[in-house]
Amino acid sequence: KAGVTQTPRYLIKTRGQQVTLSCSPISGHRSVSWYQQTPGQGLQFLFEYFSETQRNKGNFPGRFSGRQFSNSRSEMNVSTLELGDSALYLCASSLAGTSMYEQYFGPGTRLTVT
Amino acid sequence: KQEVTQIPAALSVPEGENLVLNCSFTDSAIYNLQWFRQDPGKGLTSLLLIQSSQREQTSGRLNASLDKSSGRSTLYIAASQPGDSATYLCAVDSGGGADGLTFGKGTHLIIQP
């Protein structure tokens, strides 16, 4: 069974631009969560989607948004990029978005903002 | 607000030793706790998931325990090997799956050959 895939793996953008990252969950998984990992803050929760609905969002500005499609694939978008948005962005999928199931992480997208 | 702390931040031991990594959390009202490993520049690999009603879980040389009342979990690694070198992260689910996981900063483990 294929794992969680994320595209692209690496991205370099300029301040002020916008970026879209993609996540394909494990087949059959309906919940997708997004996290930002930086050396200073560690891993921080961005948002979680289940059956195309955002159920919760972490403490991030409105420049960070996302969506989930009917096939459970998810995208996150960051508009008006800032230098501080440079990070590893990880997505995780789980079977049903409840605490009963493990979360499986993808390899991440490394975003560098210059 | 849930906070997760991992001690020590870094650990270096010779191959073959048994070792314990510690994780503590401030709010005992958790649904589960999960241990992950992360290799440099890579994503997270799930190691063990302990539900709030469980006391421990085992997988191969790994054993994780959970004491919810005291807000602590330990990850025990038996007979360590150089391939175990990685950053180990613990994470708690306080929201039933919808609020994301709260992570500790991790323990950077080096196993010396």
How far apart are the C-alpha atoms of B13 and B110, rounded to whole Å? 7
Contact B96 A99 (CB under 8 A): yes
- For A23, how many CA atoms within 13 A lie in the half-sphere containing its CB? 33
Residue A102 has pLDDT above 80, yes or no: yes
Token pair listed for A76 = 């996150």
Residue A109 has pLDDT above 70, yes or no: yes
How far apart are the C-alpha atoms of B106 and B103, rounded to whole Å? 8
pLDDT averaged over every residue in chain A: 94
Token pair listed for A78 = 């960051």
**Residues 6+ positions from B71 with CB-CB distance below 8 Å:** B24, B25, B26, B27, B28
% of chain A at pLDDT higher than 90 = 87
Of B41, B89, B97, the CB nearest to A99: B97
pLDDT in tens, B16-36: 999 999 999 999 999 999 999
For residue B58, what pLDDT band results from cuts at 50, 70 and 90?
Answer: very high
Contact A102 B95 (CB under 8 A): no
For residue B88, what pLDDT band results from cuts at 50, 70 and 90?
Answer: very high
pLDDT in tens, A34-75: 999 999 999 999 999 999 999 889 999 999 999 999 999 999
Q: List chain A residues with CB under 8 Å of B5.
A: none
**pLDDT score for B42:** 87
Which residue type occupies A72? S
CA distance A55 to chain B (A): 6
